[in-house]
A and B are shown apart, each in its own frame.
Chain A
C-alpha cells in the first residue's frame, strides 16, 4: 500500500525529447507538490496544487507543465529536455497546508 507513488522510477532520454512523470497518492490529501533535487542534494519546490488548483509556481522554465486531473494525481510534463534537467524529481502530498508532507520514492531523470 504505497502512499505516494511515482512512475517511472528511472528515466533516461535524449536532449530535446518530451517526457512525462506521474504521481499518485492514496492518502486522501488535498495538496500535492513537485520538488527537484539536484546533484548536490539540494531540494527545491517547483509546483504545488491544492484541490486541483495551482497554488505555488516557483521560477521554473515554462517547459515544465504540471497537470492535476484529480486530487489524487499530479503529473509533470517536460518539453524539450535539457542536460540541466537531469535530477531526481520528488512528488509529495499533504493533508492540510501546514502539516507533514509525504514524499514519493523519486524519479531519477538523466538527460543525455
Chain B
C-alpha cells in the first residue's frame, strides 16, 4: 500500500500567493523528503527533513514534520509561474535502509 498520501491532489493559485501541500504517512520514518517533478521531466530533490527535526527552510520553501501525527507539510511562499509542477513527498522508513516510498503527488498550477 502507498505510504505517503498528498493532499490536495491538485492546487491552483495565482502568482504571489502561498501554496501549502500536505503529506501523511503510516509507519515510522527515518526521514521525509520532498521532490518536484516538472511535466515530462525527472524528479528534483527539494528538502530532506529527519525524524528528529520539526521544521526546515530552503529559500521560499518551508517544510514541517509532525511525527506524532505522521504528517508533513510543504509551504511555498510568494509562488511563481515556474513553481508549476507536481510535488511528491517520500518517506525513508526505519528498518528499510535505502527504500524511499513515494506519495501520490500534488499537482500545483500557478497562474499569472
Contacts and interface: CB of A to CB of B under 8 A. Distances in A.
Interface of A: 4, 31, 40-45, 48, 50, 55-56, 90, 92, 94, 97-106
Contacts of A43: 43, 88, 102
Contact of B99 (A48, A99, A103, A104): A48
A102 B45 CA distance: 7
Interface of B: 2, 30-31, 33, 35, 37, 41-45, 48, 86, 88, 92, 97-102, 104-105
B98 A56 contact: yes
Nearest to B97: A97
Question: Do most interface residues of chain A lie in helix, strand or loop, or is the interface mixed?
Answer: strand
A44 B98 contact: no
Contact of B102 (A44, A55, A97): A44
B102 A42 contact: yes
Contacts of B48: 99-100
B99 A45 contact: yes
